[in-house]
A and B are shown apart, each in its own frame.
Chain A
Amino acid sequence: MSNKMDRSEMRESRDSRDSRDAGMDRDGDERGGRRGGGFGRRKVCRFCADLEYVMDYKDFRMMQSYVTEHGRIVPRRMSGNCAMHQRKLTSAVKRARNLALVGFVSSGN
């Protein structure tokens, strides 16, 4: 009797673990779970994808969208830019800072 219960418990626990594992793999069918732990879709460099979207330090909306609320340049792992465009973006943001289009510390109150 007790033996049977043990087994059922065991099975139950294993089942639950299995389902959780399976859930990890199958979870987020839209976003696609990754083994490495992170979730999220693969980002694409917007400057490469859209040729109309040209880097311009004078376009303050563009510059603001690549600056955090504290005035830091958005890192590549967040913006998904390729290396070349991130380098260009860095210099563009620095130029925009000189022109007071974006702030050095916080983007205005």
Chain B
Amino acid sequence: MANAASNAGKIPGYETTIITRGELADESLKALQERINSVVKSFGGEVVLTEDWGSRKLAYTIQKESRGRYSYFVYTGKGQVVAEIERNLRINEHVLRFLSVNLEKEFDAPAFVKRRAELQVAAKKRDEEREARREERMAERRNWSDERRPRQSAHSAASEDSEA
């Protein structure tokens, strides 16, 4: 209670990642998003961010599904909103799994969105760099084997000569 008082004016933020069946149609995903929107609204919060990560291969099968479609929500709200959303998700048979995380106490929606965009850019850059490094390595390896092959053949030719 004391905690809530010190945070007056600030509504806590939560994030939920949902895995639905891989072959889920867009309409049912939309329905799910609508559902979450309405639940969050009814608890006096708002959905800050909605992301669809598309279909991904799961690291292990869940309910005999090896592919899952990931969606990610960030929302604000008080107390019971998470419990209510999770209750809804449990009812929905397309949902394989979900994970809700309480974001930091002083949740600032615009700042969060901005920060997330920045981090995504940084992650993308890292990916590209990794890819570039890999390319470089592959090129190096190709060069190396090109250099290597003629020398090896020369060596074998020399040994043949000596035998002869």
Q: Which residues of A contact B (CB under 8 A)?
A: 52-54, 56-62, 95, 97-105, 107-108
Q: How many residues of B contact A (CB 8 A)?
A: 20
List A contacts of B127 (CB < 8 A). Answer: 61
Cβ-based interface call for B123 (8 A): yes
Docked CA distance A102–B70 (Å): 14
Cβ-based interface call for B99 (8 A): yes
Q: How far is the CB of A66 from chain B (nearest CB, A)?
A: 14
Say whether, besides A58-B72, A95-B99, A108 and B59 are in contact (CB < 8 Å). Answer: yes
Cβ-based interface call for B57 (8 A): yes
Q: Which of B59, B72, B118 contacts A102 (CB 8 A)?
A: B59
Docked CA distance A97–B60 (Å): 9
Q: Which of A99, A102, A104, A108 contacts B99 (CB 8 A)?
A: A99
Say whether, besides A52-B122, A61-B123, A101 and B99 are in contact (CB < 8 Å). Answer: no
Q: Enumerate the 7 nearest inter-chain pairs by beta-carbon distance, A residue then B residue, closest first.
A: A103-B59, A100-B58, A52-B122, A100-B59, A103-B60, A108-B59, A102-B59
Docked CA distance A99–B99 (Å): 7
Can you report 26 residue pairs joining A to B where beta carbons are below 8 Å apart?
A52-B118, A52-B119, A52-B122, A53-B122, A54-B122, A56-B119, A58-B17, A61-B126, A61-B127, A95-B99, A97-B59, A98-B99, A99-B70, A99-B97, A99-B99, A100-B58, A100-B59, A100-B60, A100-B97, A101-B59, A102-B59, A103-B59, A103-B60, A104-B59, A104-B60, A108-B60
Closest to B127 in A: A61
Closest to B59 in A: A103
Q: How far is the CB of A44 from chain B (nearest CB, A)?
A: 17
